[in-house]
Structure 1
Amino acid sequence: MAKDSDKQKIVHIHLPKNEKYTTTLTAGKHELIGDEPESVEGGNDKGPDPYDYLLMSLGSCTVMTIKMYVQHKGWPLEDVYMELRHNKRHAEDCDNCEDPKSKIDVIEKEVIVEGELTDKQIQKILEISQKCPVHRTLMQDIKIESSIEHH
Protein backbone atom coordinates (compact mmCIF):
# COMPACT_ATOMS: atom_id res chain seq x y z
CA MET A 1 0.00 0.00 0.00
CA ALA A 2 1.39 3.40 -0.99
CA LYS A 3 1.80 6.02 1.72
CA ASP A 4 0.43 9.54 1.13
CA SER A 5 4.02 10.75 0.84
CA ASP A 6 4.56 8.33 -2.09
CA LYS A 7 1.75 9.86 -4.15
CA GLN A 8 2.61 12.33 -6.89
CA LYS A 9 1.60 15.87 -5.98
CA ILE A 10 -0.25 17.82 -8.67
CA VAL A 11 -1.14 21.50 -8.55
CA HIS A 12 -2.68 23.65 -11.26
CA ILE A 13 -1.63 27.21 -12.02
CA HIS A 14 -3.63 29.56 -14.29
CA LEU A 15 -2.76 33.07 -15.45
CA PRO A 16 -5.84 34.28 -17.41
CA LYS A 17 -5.31 36.43 -20.50
CA ASN A 18 -7.12 39.38 -18.88
CA GLU A 19 -4.68 39.46 -15.93
CA LYS A 20 -1.16 40.88 -15.93
CA TYR A 21 0.27 38.67 -13.16
CA THR A 22 -2.61 37.71 -10.83
CA THR A 23 -2.51 33.92 -10.88
CA THR A 24 -4.89 31.25 -9.58
CA LEU A 25 -3.18 28.33 -7.86
CA THR A 26 -5.21 25.20 -7.17
CA ALA A 27 -4.19 22.23 -5.01
CA GLY A 28 -7.05 19.76 -4.72
CA LYS A 29 -10.00 21.67 -3.29
CA HIS A 30 -7.85 24.60 -2.16
CA GLU A 31 -7.58 27.74 -4.29
CA LEU A 32 -5.06 30.49 -3.67
CA ILE A 33 -4.03 33.67 -5.47
CA GLY A 34 -0.49 34.64 -6.41
CA ASP A 35 0.60 38.03 -7.71
CA GLU A 36 3.49 40.41 -7.97
CA PRO A 37 3.69 43.39 -5.60
CA GLU A 38 2.59 46.81 -6.84
CA SER A 39 6.29 47.78 -6.96
CA VAL A 40 6.52 45.53 -10.06
CA GLU A 41 4.94 47.18 -13.08
CA GLY A 42 1.58 45.48 -13.60
CA GLY A 43 1.56 43.85 -10.16
CA ASN A 44 -1.67 44.24 -8.19
CA ASP A 45 -0.52 42.71 -4.88
CA LYS A 46 -3.68 40.55 -4.73
CA GLY A 47 -1.74 37.67 -3.20
CA PRO A 48 1.69 36.50 -2.10
CA ASP A 49 4.46 36.45 -4.69
CA PRO A 50 6.16 33.18 -5.69
CA TYR A 51 8.99 33.57 -3.16
CA ASP A 52 6.44 34.22 -0.40
CA TYR A 53 4.84 30.89 -1.26
CA LEU A 54 8.24 29.18 -1.20
CA LEU A 55 8.94 30.55 2.29
CA MET A 56 5.42 29.70 3.49
CA SER A 57 5.83 26.14 2.21
CA LEU A 58 9.09 25.73 4.07
CA GLY A 59 7.75 27.39 7.22
CA SER A 60 4.50 25.45 7.40
CA CYS A 61 6.31 22.14 6.84
CA THR A 62 8.83 23.05 9.54
CA VAL A 63 6.31 23.95 12.25
CA MET A 64 4.22 20.84 11.43
CA THR A 65 7.32 18.64 11.71
CA ILE A 66 8.26 20.26 15.03
CA LYS A 67 4.74 19.83 16.41
CA MET A 68 4.58 16.15 15.39
CA TYR A 69 7.93 15.45 17.04
CA VAL A 70 7.17 17.38 20.23
CA GLN A 71 3.72 15.77 20.61
CA HIS A 72 5.28 12.33 20.17
CA LYS A 73 7.80 13.16 22.91
CA GLY A 74 5.14 14.71 25.15
CA TRP A 75 7.13 17.92 25.63
CA PRO A 76 5.40 21.03 27.01
CA LEU A 77 5.43 23.09 23.81
CA GLU A 78 2.71 25.73 24.06
CA ASP A 79 3.18 27.42 20.68
CA VAL A 80 5.53 27.52 17.73
CA TYR A 81 6.04 30.32 15.21
CA MET A 82 8.45 30.94 12.38
CA GLU A 83 9.88 33.93 10.62
CA LEU A 84 11.60 33.29 7.31
CA ARG A 85 13.62 35.67 5.18
CA HIS A 86 14.93 35.23 1.65
CA ASN A 87 17.67 37.25 0.00
CA LYS A 88 20.51 36.92 -2.43
CA ARG A 89 24.05 37.39 -1.14
CA HIS A 90 27.47 37.45 -2.68
CA ALA A 91 28.74 33.90 -2.58
CA GLU A 92 31.50 33.85 0.03
CA ASP A 93 33.17 30.88 -1.59
CA CYS A 94 33.12 32.72 -4.91
CA ASP A 95 35.59 35.45 -3.98
CA ASN A 96 37.82 34.25 -6.80
CA CYS A 97 35.02 33.41 -9.23
CA GLU A 98 35.16 34.79 -12.73
CA ASP A 99 31.80 36.54 -12.25
CA PRO A 100 32.15 39.10 -9.42
CA LYS A 101 28.35 39.38 -9.33
CA SER A 102 27.84 35.72 -8.32
CA LYS A 103 25.12 35.50 -5.71
CA ILE A 104 23.48 32.65 -3.88
CA ASP A 105 19.98 32.40 -2.46
CA VAL A 106 19.91 32.49 1.34
CA ILE A 107 16.86 31.52 3.39
CA GLU A 108 17.00 32.37 7.06
CA LYS A 109 14.68 30.34 9.30
CA GLU A 110 13.98 31.59 12.80
CA VAL A 111 11.95 29.21 14.98
CA ILE A 112 10.17 30.78 17.95
CA VAL A 113 8.91 28.38 20.62
CA GLU A 114 6.92 28.94 23.78
CA GLY A 115 6.68 26.57 26.71
CA GLU A 116 8.58 25.19 29.68
CA LEU A 117 11.30 23.58 27.56
CA THR A 118 14.82 22.67 28.63
CA ASP A 119 17.87 23.92 26.73
CA LYS A 120 18.39 20.35 25.49
CA GLN A 121 14.80 20.19 24.17
CA ILE A 122 15.18 23.56 22.46
CA GLN A 123 18.37 22.36 20.73
CA LYS A 124 16.61 19.18 19.60
CA ILE A 125 13.72 21.26 18.20
CA LEU A 126 16.23 23.29 16.18
CA GLU A 127 17.77 20.06 14.88
CA ILE A 128 14.32 18.65 13.98
CA SER A 129 13.41 21.93 12.22
CA GLN A 130 16.12 21.16 9.67
CA LYS A 131 14.69 17.72 8.93
CA CYS A 132 11.26 18.65 7.60
CA PRO A 133 10.62 17.19 4.13
CA VAL A 134 10.53 20.56 2.33
CA HIS A 135 13.79 21.65 3.97
CA ARG A 136 15.43 18.39 2.88
CA THR A 137 14.06 18.80 -0.66
CA LEU A 138 15.44 22.32 -0.95
CA MET A 139 18.86 21.17 0.26
CA GLN A 140 19.10 18.43 -2.40
CA ASP A 141 19.89 18.65 -6.06
CA ILE A 142 16.51 19.13 -7.67
CA LYS A 143 15.70 17.96 -11.17
CA ILE A 144 12.93 19.91 -12.90
CA GLU A 145 11.59 18.32 -16.05
CA SER A 146 9.77 20.83 -18.26
CA SER A 147 7.44 20.15 -21.16
CA ILE A 148 4.88 22.17 -23.08
CA GLU A 149 1.46 21.36 -24.47
CA HIS A 150 0.00 23.59 -27.16
CA HIS A 151 -3.76 23.93 -27.79
Structure 2
Amino acid sequence: MAKFVNGIDVEGLKNTIGAIKEKPELASFKFRASNKWIKGTNNRATVKGYYGAGEEHDKRAVSMTFDEDEPPVLLGNDKGPNPVEWVLVGLSGCLTTSLVAYAAAKGIDLRSVESELEGDLDVRGFLNLDPNVRNGYQNIRVHFKIDADASDEEVRKLVEIAQQRSPVFDIVTHQVPVQVDFERKAARQVSSTDERRPGKAVRARMVRRRRGMHA
Protein backbone atom coordinates (compact mmCIF):
# COMPACT_ATOMS: atom_id res chain seq x y z
CA MET A 1 0.00 0.00 0.00
CA ALA A 2 1.27 3.45 -0.93
CA LYS A 3 2.48 5.59 1.95
CA PHE A 4 1.17 9.13 1.88
CA VAL A 5 2.69 11.95 3.93
CA ASN A 6 1.04 15.37 3.66
CA GLY A 7 -0.98 13.97 0.75
CA ILE A 8 2.21 13.10 -1.16
CA ASP A 9 2.81 9.54 -2.38
CA VAL A 10 6.28 9.11 -0.89
CA GLU A 11 6.98 5.86 -2.72
CA GLY A 12 5.87 7.45 -5.98
CA LEU A 13 8.16 10.41 -5.30
CA LYS A 14 11.12 8.08 -4.71
CA ASN A 15 10.29 6.08 -7.85
CA THR A 16 10.14 9.27 -9.91
CA ILE A 17 13.54 10.37 -8.61
CA GLY A 18 14.98 6.93 -9.32
CA ALA A 19 13.60 6.86 -12.86
CA ILE A 20 15.10 10.27 -13.65
CA LYS A 21 18.46 9.21 -12.25
CA GLU A 22 18.46 6.27 -14.67
CA LYS A 23 17.16 8.32 -17.62
CA PRO A 24 18.01 12.02 -17.18
CA GLU A 25 16.12 12.87 -20.38
CA LEU A 26 12.87 12.21 -18.51
CA ALA A 27 13.56 15.37 -16.50
CA SER A 28 13.00 17.63 -19.52
CA PHE A 29 9.64 19.44 -19.43
CA LYS A 30 8.09 22.16 -21.57
CA PHE A 31 5.17 24.03 -20.03
CA ARG A 32 2.95 26.23 -22.17
CA ALA A 33 0.35 28.96 -21.88
CA SER A 34 -1.62 31.00 -24.41
CA ASN A 35 -3.17 34.41 -23.98
CA LYS A 36 -5.88 36.39 -25.73
CA TRP A 37 -6.75 40.03 -25.23
CA ILE A 38 -10.43 40.54 -24.32
CA LYS A 39 -10.99 44.27 -23.81
CA GLY A 40 -9.20 47.15 -22.14
CA THR A 41 -6.76 45.74 -19.58
CA ASN A 42 -8.58 42.39 -19.47
CA ASN A 43 -6.94 39.39 -21.14
CA ARG A 44 -7.44 35.66 -20.74
CA ALA A 45 -4.78 32.97 -20.32
CA THR A 46 -5.30 29.29 -21.06
CA VAL A 47 -3.14 26.35 -19.99
CA LYS A 48 -3.55 23.07 -21.85
CA GLY A 49 -0.91 20.56 -22.85
CA TYR A 50 2.71 20.16 -21.86
CA TYR A 51 5.68 17.97 -22.68
CA GLY A 52 7.25 15.88 -19.94
CA ALA A 53 8.62 12.47 -19.00
CA GLY A 54 9.46 11.81 -22.64
CA GLU A 55 6.05 12.46 -24.21
CA GLU A 56 3.37 15.01 -25.02
CA HIS A 57 0.41 15.39 -22.68
CA ASP A 58 -2.42 17.01 -24.65
CA LYS A 59 -5.20 16.86 -22.08
CA ARG A 60 -5.64 18.10 -18.52
CA ALA A 61 -8.12 16.83 -15.96
CA VAL A 62 -9.90 20.20 -15.86
CA SER A 63 -10.14 23.26 -18.07
CA MET A 64 -7.61 25.88 -16.97
CA THR A 65 -8.55 29.40 -18.00
CA PHE A 66 -7.59 32.50 -16.03
CA ASP A 67 -8.66 36.11 -16.49
CA GLU A 68 -6.13 38.85 -15.87
CA ASP A 69 -7.09 42.47 -15.36
CA GLU A 70 -6.16 45.59 -13.44
CA PRO A 71 -7.95 47.27 -10.52
CA PRO A 72 -10.03 50.36 -11.35
CA VAL A 73 -7.29 52.70 -10.07
CA LEU A 74 -5.13 51.30 -12.90
CA LEU A 75 -7.96 51.64 -15.46
CA GLY A 76 -9.17 48.05 -15.16
CA ASN A 77 -12.39 46.38 -14.04
CA ASP A 78 -11.14 43.74 -11.56
CA LYS A 79 -12.00 40.81 -13.84
CA GLY A 80 -9.09 38.95 -12.25
CA PRO A 81 -5.72 39.44 -10.55
CA ASN A 82 -3.28 41.58 -12.47
CA PRO A 83 -0.16 39.95 -13.95
CA VAL A 84 2.16 40.97 -11.12
CA GLU A 85 -0.31 39.53 -8.61
CA TRP A 86 -0.21 36.28 -10.59
CA VAL A 87 3.56 36.33 -10.05
CA LEU A 88 2.94 36.33 -6.29
CA VAL A 89 0.37 33.54 -6.74
CA GLY A 90 2.86 31.43 -8.69
CA LEU A 91 5.63 32.07 -6.19
CA SER A 92 3.43 31.19 -3.21
CA GLY A 93 2.23 27.97 -4.81
CA CYS A 94 5.69 26.84 -5.89
CA LEU A 95 7.30 27.55 -2.52
CA THR A 96 4.48 25.72 -0.74
CA THR A 97 4.66 22.68 -3.04
CA SER A 98 8.44 22.50 -2.66
CA LEU A 99 8.19 22.74 1.12
CA VAL A 100 5.44 20.11 1.38
CA ALA A 101 7.21 17.65 -0.93
CA TYR A 102 10.49 17.95 0.96
CA ALA A 103 8.69 17.50 4.29
CA ALA A 104 7.01 14.37 2.94
CA ALA A 105 10.34 12.94 1.79
CA LYS A 106 11.71 13.52 5.29
CA GLY A 107 8.64 12.03 6.96
CA ILE A 108 7.63 15.32 8.59
CA ASP A 109 3.86 15.64 9.10
CA LEU A 110 2.44 19.07 8.36
CA ARG A 111 -0.86 20.18 9.87
CA SER A 112 -1.04 23.50 8.04
CA VAL A 113 1.06 25.70 5.79
CA GLU A 114 -0.02 29.28 5.08
CA SER A 115 1.82 32.15 3.48
CA GLU A 116 1.38 35.87 2.91
CA LEU A 117 3.20 37.63 0.08
CA GLU A 118 3.66 41.32 -0.63
CA GLY A 119 5.55 43.01 -3.42
CA ASP A 120 6.69 46.63 -3.83
CA LEU A 121 6.16 48.06 -7.30
CA ASP A 122 6.56 51.63 -8.54
CA VAL A 123 4.38 52.18 -11.64
CA ARG A 124 6.56 55.09 -12.81
CA GLY A 125 8.71 52.46 -14.51
CA PHE A 126 5.79 50.94 -16.43
CA LEU A 127 4.48 54.41 -17.33
CA ASN A 128 7.93 55.46 -18.60
CA LEU A 129 8.03 58.42 -16.21
CA ASP A 130 11.43 57.71 -14.68
CA PRO A 131 14.21 55.73 -16.41
CA ASN A 132 15.77 54.96 -13.03
CA VAL A 133 12.72 53.03 -11.80
CA ARG A 134 12.53 49.38 -12.83
CA ASN A 135 9.28 48.09 -14.34
CA GLY A 136 8.90 45.11 -12.04
CA TYR A 137 8.94 44.47 -8.32
CA GLN A 138 11.64 46.18 -6.29
CA ASN A 139 11.19 43.74 -3.43
CA ILE A 140 9.03 40.75 -2.46
CA ARG A 141 8.38 39.55 1.08
CA VAL A 142 7.13 36.06 1.95
CA HIS A 143 5.91 35.13 5.43
CA PHE A 144 5.07 31.51 6.29
CA LYS A 145 2.89 30.20 9.10
CA ILE A 146 3.64 26.50 9.61
CA ASP A 147 2.15 23.98 12.03
CA ALA A 148 4.17 20.74 11.96
CA ASP A 149 5.41 17.83 14.04
CA ALA A 150 8.93 19.19 13.87
CA SER A 151 11.41 21.33 15.76
CA ASP A 152 12.03 24.99 14.94
CA GLU A 153 15.29 24.00 13.27
CA GLU A 154 13.56 21.40 11.10
CA VAL A 155 10.90 23.91 10.05
CA ARG A 156 13.60 26.49 9.28
CA LYS A 157 15.31 23.88 7.11
CA LEU A 158 12.04 23.22 5.25
CA VAL A 159 11.73 26.92 4.42
CA GLU A 160 15.35 27.07 3.27
CA ILE A 161 14.98 24.01 1.05
CA ALA A 162 11.76 25.41 -0.42
CA GLN A 163 13.71 28.47 -1.58
CA GLN A 164 16.60 26.37 -2.88
CA ARG A 165 14.42 23.98 -4.88
CA SER A 166 11.44 26.09 -5.99
CA PRO A 167 11.49 26.71 -9.78
CA VAL A 168 9.48 29.94 -9.49
CA PHE A 169 11.71 31.27 -6.70
CA ASP A 170 14.63 30.63 -9.05
CA ILE A 171 12.83 32.42 -11.90
CA VAL A 172 12.12 35.58 -9.89
CA THR A 173 15.54 35.74 -8.22
CA HIS A 174 17.64 35.10 -11.35
CA GLN A 175 17.49 36.47 -14.86
CA VAL A 176 15.87 34.08 -17.33
CA PRO A 177 16.44 34.52 -21.08
CA VAL A 178 13.13 35.38 -22.76
CA GLN A 179 12.73 35.45 -26.53
CA VAL A 180 9.79 37.43 -27.91
CA ASP A 181 8.73 37.49 -31.56
CA PHE A 182 5.54 38.28 -33.45
CA GLU A 183 3.59 37.70 -36.62
CA ARG A 184 0.90 39.74 -38.31
CA LYS A 185 -2.53 38.17 -38.07
CA ALA A 186 -4.27 38.41 -41.42
CA ALA A 187 -7.32 40.67 -41.39
CA ARG A 188 -10.62 39.16 -42.48
CA GLN A 189 -10.94 39.51 -46.23
CA VAL A 190 -14.13 41.26 -47.38
CA SER A 191 -15.48 39.70 -50.57
CA SER A 192 -17.24 41.68 -53.29
CA THR A 193 -20.46 39.94 -52.22
CA ASP A 194 -19.97 41.20 -48.66
CA GLU A 195 -19.40 44.71 -49.97
CA ARG A 196 -22.68 44.62 -51.94
CA ARG A 197 -24.67 43.08 -49.07
CA PRO A 198 -26.61 45.75 -47.09
CA GLY A 199 -25.94 46.12 -43.39
CA LYS A 200 -28.36 45.10 -40.64
CA ALA A 201 -29.92 48.56 -40.31
CA VAL A 202 -30.45 48.85 -44.07
CA ARG A 203 -31.92 45.33 -44.27
CA ALA A 204 -34.32 46.17 -41.43
CA ARG A 205 -35.59 49.25 -43.29
CA MET A 206 -36.03 47.21 -46.48
CA VAL A 207 -38.09 44.61 -44.61
CA ARG A 208 -40.34 47.31 -43.12
CA ARG A 209 -40.85 48.86 -46.55
CA ARG A 210 -41.80 45.52 -48.10
CA ARG A 211 -44.27 44.87 -45.29
CA GLY A 212 -45.80 48.31 -45.88
CA MET A 213 -46.20 47.56 -49.60
CA HIS A 214 -48.12 44.35 -48.82
CA ALA A 215 -50.27 45.89 -46.11
Is TM > 0.5 for Structure 1 vs Structure 2? yes
C-alpha deviation, 1:135, in angstroms: 0.5
Normalization by structure 1: what TM-score? 0.82
2:86 to 53, 71, 94: 53
2:40 to 20, 28, 46: 20
Deviations 1:49-91 (A, max 9, x none): 00110000010000001110111111121111111110048xx
Verify: 1:6 aligned to 2:40, yes or no. no
**Distance across 2 between alignment mates of 1:78 and 1:133:** 24
Which consecutive unaligned segments of at least 5 residues does structure 1 have? 90-98
Higher relative contact order (CA 8 A, sep 6+): 1
Which consecutive unaligned segments of at least 5 residues does structure 2 have? 1-22, 49-62, 123-129, 186-215
* Consecutive aligned runs of 4 or more in structure 1 exceeding 6 Å deviation: none
Identity of aligned residues (%): 23
**Distance across 1 between alignment mates of 2:66 and 2:132:** 35
C-alpha deviation, 1:100, in angstroms: 10
Q: Kindly tell me: are residues 100 and 141 of structure 1, through their superposed partners in 2, closer, same or farther at Cα, counting changes over 3 Å?
A: closer
**Counterpart position of 1:95:** none
**Distance across 1 between alignment mates of 2:74 and 2:82:** 11
Q: Kindly tell me: are residues 100 and 145 of structure 1, through their superposed partners in 2, closer, same or farther at Cα, counting changes over 3 Å?
A: closer
1:32 maps to amino acid: F
**Distance across 1 between alignment mates of 2:182 and 2:147:** 47
Counterpart secondary structure, 2:73: coil
2:145 to 112, 137, 140: 112
**Distance across 2 between alignment mates of 1:139 and 1:15:** 28
More displaced, 53-62 or 129-138? 129-138
C-alpha deviation, 1:145, in angstroms: 0.8
Aligned length: 138
**Counterpart position of 2:114:** 81
Pairing of 1:27-42 with structure 2 (within 5 A): 27-28=47-48, 29-41=63-75
